[in-house]
């Protein structure tokens, strides 16, 4: 029976999701941050090493100092790359993210009474099924990531808000799902599509400028063979770094993928206006979650290939 009147949307925040989500989300963010910082360190040390090597000729009798510093920076880059490989941070990042997003999708199916958490069974049986599915996710060796589970989150797996949404009438559940899940996810995809598209354009410009600087300096060295400083290698290293960083972040592919996902969710959101009854809501949520899950599956696949 419904216990909440259909007069308002029930706000659902990330704090209302299961403890499994909290742990996976936190682990994913930590792994992502560490991975990206290591990549920044690798690229920066490589560029700085190239710059110090180019300036060694200006040091006169002390040219061994920048040469040694250049070697140190290049060695640091190799060390950071070894650390990155051994820690498997990228794998932890996207595997933990997959666990978090799978848990969020399951939570919305539970809250809206969609399959496999419909009304066909008693409340206790549904809760048991939901908890069993969570247990399966965290114990799946293909899902389980390196850093997941190191921090314990003192939160329930089924929050009070999740129960409130599930106990609400069909109109409230529909409005809550459209607002707190579909519209929120669509807004996130839209913002990420714009930011990644903009970042990709800026890095393309930086690559072009660095390549142009390398070409100009090489030409000037040909015209002035007496010059002692050759910065061609430095600008070439900068161009390489500006090419590599967007590949790490996958700006172009993410921008395109998220733009398509934004459009798909917009179409799904419009379909929600014609939903009537529990059966239609359950089918609608199942289709919507399948569409969202496909995007996350593609994201993981892209990371696996990178």
pLDDT tens sequence across 209-220: 999 999 999 998
Q: What angle do CA 19, 20, 25 make, to 5 degrees?
A: 100
Domain ranges of the chain: 15-305
The answer to whether the CB of 289 falls within 8 A of the CB of 116 is: no
Return the structure tokens found at 9: 């949307």
Q: What is the pLDDT along the chain (306 residues), one digit of tens a residue?
A: 444 444 588 999 999 999 999 999 999 999 999 999 999 999 999 999 888 887 776 666 666 788 888 899 999 999 999 999 898 888 888 888 888 999 999 999 999 999 899 877 676 889 999 999 998 888 765 555 545 555 556 788 999 999 999 999 999 999 999 999 999 988 988 888 888 888 888 989 999 999 999 999 999 888 888 787 788 888 899 999 998 888 787 777 778 888 888 888 888 888 887 888 889 999 999 988 988 887 766 666 655 555
pLDDT, tens digit, 9 for 90 and up, residues 246-303: 878 777 777 888 888 888 888 888 888 788 888 999 999 998 898 888 776 666 665 5
Task: List, as own/partner pairs, every contact residues 140-144 make where C-beta atoms lie below 8 angstroms and the sequence separation is at least 24, other chains included.
Answer: 143/95, 143/98, 143/99, 143/102, 144/95, 144/99
Round to whole Å and give the CA distance between 249 and 36.
9
pTM above 0.75, yes or no: yes
CA-wise closest residue to 279 among 187, 173, 199: 173
* Alpha carbon of residue 65 to chain centroid: 41
Contact 149, 18 (CB under 8 A): no
């Amino acid at each position: 029976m419904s216990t909440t009147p259909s007069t308002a949307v029930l706000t659902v925040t990330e704090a209302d999701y299961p403890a499994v989500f909290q742990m996976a989300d936190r682990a994913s963010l930590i792994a992502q941050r560490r991975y990206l910082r290591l990549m920044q360190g690798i690229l920066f040390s490589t560029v700085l090493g190239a710059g110090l090597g180019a300036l060694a000729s200006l040091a006169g009798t002390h040219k061994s100092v920048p040469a040694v510093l250049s070697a140190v920076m290049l060695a640091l880059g190799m060390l950071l790359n070894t650390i990155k490989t051994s820690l498997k941070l990228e794998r932890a990042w996207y595997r933990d993210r997959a666990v978090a997003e799978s848990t969020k999708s399951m939570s919305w199916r539970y809250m809206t009474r969609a399959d496999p958490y419909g009304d066909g069974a008693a409340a206790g049986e549904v809760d048991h099924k939901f908890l069993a599915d969570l247990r399966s996710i965290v114990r799946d060796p293909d899902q389980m990531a390196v850093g997941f589970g190191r921090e314990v989150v003192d939160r329930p797996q089924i929050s009070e808000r999740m129960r409130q949404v599930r106990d609400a009438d069909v109109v409230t559940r529909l409005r809550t799902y459209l607002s707190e899940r579909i519209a929120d996810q669509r807004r996130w995809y839209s913002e990420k599509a714009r930011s990644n598209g903009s970042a990709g354009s800026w890095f393309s410009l930086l690559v072009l400028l660095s390549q142009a600087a390398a070409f100009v300096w090489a030409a000037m060295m040909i015209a002035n063979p007496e010059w002692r400083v050759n910065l061609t290698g430095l600008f070439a290293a900068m161009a390489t770094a500006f090419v590599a960083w967007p590949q790490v972040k996958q700006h172009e592919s993410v921008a395109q993928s998220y733009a398509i996902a934004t459009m798909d969710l917009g179409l799904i959101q419009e379909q929600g206006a014609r939903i009537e009854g529990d059966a239609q809501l359950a089918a609608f949520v199942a289709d919507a979650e399948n569409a969202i899950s496909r995007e996350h599956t593609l994201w993981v696949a892209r990371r696996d290939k990178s």
